[in-house]
Amino acid sequence: QVHLVESGGGSVQAGGSLRLSCAVSGNTVSRKCMGWFRQGLGKEREGVASIYTSDGSTNYADSVKGRFTISQDNAKNTLYLQMHSLKPEDTAMYYCAATDRSRGYCYPTGRYNYLGQGTQVTVSS
């Protein structure tokens, strides 16, 4: 089992920044690959970023590349999503996720076995 708790969401104006955090606990094998998803109102869920926890390799959706950074602090068992140059279209509920996929399959898309409860990000124009 893996337990994920997100925090750090809020309201910000376009062009602003936010950092999301995800407190992680549970089986390390089950969370070899971790990621962030988002889902806006009336929109499909979108994979935003992923990180392979053993070597820190990352992947990003084209919509956030160059603006968002996924990272981890293993000492604190915390996953982060640093978001810069936020746009109104980034408004969504953001979820932390985990899966046991291997490095070659660790992408923002695809099925993740564990999701947190989410944290809301609202970007106003």
What's the pLDDT tens digit per position in 82-120?
Answer: 999 999 999 999 999 999 988 889 999 988 999 999 999
Half-sphere exposure of 95 (CA within 13 A, CB side): 17
Check residue 107 and give its pLDDT: 94
Check residue 103 and give its pLDDT: 87
Check residue 12 and give its pLDDT: 98
pLDDT digits (tens, 9 = 90+) for 16-41: 999 999 999 998 878 899 999 999 99
Residue-wise DSSP of 32-64: SEEEEEEE-TTS--EEEEEEETTTTEEEE-TTT
Residue of 68, 76, 74, 3 whose CA lies nearest to 38: 68
Eight-class DSSP state of 85: S
Question: Which SS3 state, helix, strand or coil, does residue 93 take?
Answer: strand
Check residue 68 and give its pLDDT: 98
